[in-house]
Chain A
Amino acid sequence: MIKQHAKTGLGLIFTAIMLFPVYWMINVSLTKDTDMRADPPHLFPFDGTLEGYRAVIDQQMPYLGTSLFIGLGTVILTLLISAPAGFALAKLRPKGGGTLSFVLLIAQMIPGIIMAMGFYAIYLRLGVLNTVGGLILADSTIAVPFGVLIFTAFMSGIPDELINAALIDGASKWRTFVSVILPISRNAIVTVSLFAFLWAWSDFVFATTLDGGGDAQPITLGIYHYIGNNNQQWNAIMATAVVASIPATLLLILAQRYVAAGVTAGAVKD
Chain B
Amino acid sequence: MAHDVMTRVPAPAPAGAGARSPRPRKRGSWAAWAFLAPIVIYLLAFYAYPLYRNLDLSLRHYTVRSFVQGDAPFSGLDNYRTVFDDAAFGPALVHTLAFTFVSIAFQFAIGLALAVFFAQNFRLSGTLRALFLVPWLLPLIVSASTWSWMLNSDSGIVNHALGLVGVDPVNWLTSPDWALTSVIIANIWIGIPFNLVVLYSGLQAIPAEVYEAAAIDGANSWQRFWRVTFPLLRPVSAITLLLGLVYTLKVFDLIWIMTKGGPADASTTFATWSYRFSFGSLLPEFGPGAAVGNLLIIMALFFGLLYIRFQKRLDS
Contact = CB atoms under 8 A, between A and B. Distances in A.
Say whether A and B bind each other. yes
Interface string A24-50: 110010000000111111000000000
A155 to B, nearest CB: 11
A14 B128 contact: yes
B156 to A, nearest CB: 8
Nearest to A94: B32
Contact of A224 (B141, B149, B150, B300): B141
B283 interface: no
Interface in B36-73: 36, 38-40, 42-43, 46-47, 49-54, 57, 67-68, 70
B128 A141 contact: no
B308 A93 contact: no
Interface residues of A, number: 106
B236 interface: yes
B135 A220 contact: no
A179 interface: no
Of B2, B31, B197, B294, most A-chain CB atoms within 10 Å: B197
Interface string A160-199: 1001100110001110010000000000000000000010
B304 A220 contact: no
A205 to B, nearest CB: 6
A167 B5 contact: yes
A248 B138 contact: yes
Interface size classification for chain B: 35 or more
A118 B50 contact: yes
A113 interface: yes
Interface stretch (B81-89, B100-108, B219-227, B250-258): B250-258
A52 B311 CA distance: 48
A241 B198 contact: no
Given A11-B118, A268-B201, A109 B132 contact: no
B42 A259 contact: no
Given A85-B39, A100-B39, A267-B239, A118 B130 contact: no
Interface stretch (B175-183, B208-216, B271-279): B271-279
Interface string B149-185: 1100011010010000000000000000000000000
Contact of B36 (A24, A94, A141, A248): A94
A131 interface: no
Contact of B274 (A5, A84, A117, A208): A117
A118 B58 CA distance: 11
A124 interface: yes
Nearest to B148: A227
Q: Helix, strand, loop or mixed for chain B's interface? A: helix
Contacts of B9: 164, 167-168
Contacts of A269: 311, 314-315
Interface in B296-310: 296-297, 300-301, 303-304, 308
Contact of B253 (A100, A198, A205): A205
Interface in A88-132: 88-89, 91-95, 97, 100, 102-115, 117-122, 124-125
B35 A117 contact: no
A198 B36 CA distance: 25
A82 interface: yes
B155 A22 contact: no
Contacts of B52: 118
A237 to B, nearest CB: 6
B125 A22 contact: no
Q: Helix, strand, loop or mixed for chain A's interface? A: helix
Of B118, B120, B194, B252, most A-chain CB atoms within 10 Å: B252
B252 A113 contact: yes
B230 interface: no
B160 to A, nearest CB: 6
Given A12-B124, A120-B278, A205-B252, A111 B130 contact: no
B128 A12 contact: yes
A105 B33 contact: no
A18 B12 contact: no
Contact of A24 (B31, B114, B146, B240): B146
Given A41-B160, A114-B293, A141-B46, A95 B29 contact: yes
A249 interface: yes
Contacts of B290: 117
Contacts of B29: 92, 94-95
Contacts of A94: 28-29, 32-33, 36
A241 B146 contact: yes
Contact of B142 (A10, A106, A120, A223): A223
Interface of B: 2-3, 5, 9, 11-12, 28-29, 31-33, 35-36, 38-40, 42-43, 46-47, 49-54, 57, 67-68, 70, 114, 117-118, 120, 122-125, 128, 130-143, 145-150, 154-155, 157, 160, 189, 192-194, 197-198, 201-202, 236, 239-240, 243, 246, 249-250, 252-253, 257, 271, 274-275, 278-279, 286, 289-290, 293-294, 296-297, 300-301, 303-304, 308, 311, 314-315
Given A112-B250, A201-B139, A267-B198, 20 more contacts: A7-B122, A8-B124, A14-B117, A84-B38, A89-B36, A94-B29, A111-B297, A113-B293, A117-B293, A118-B54, A144-B39, A172-B12, A237-B145, A237-B149, A245-B138, A252-B134, A259-B133, A260-B130, A263-B136, A263-B193
Q: Top 5 A-B pairs ranked by shortest CB distance?
A: A118-B50, A92-B32, A202-B139, A94-B32, A88-B35
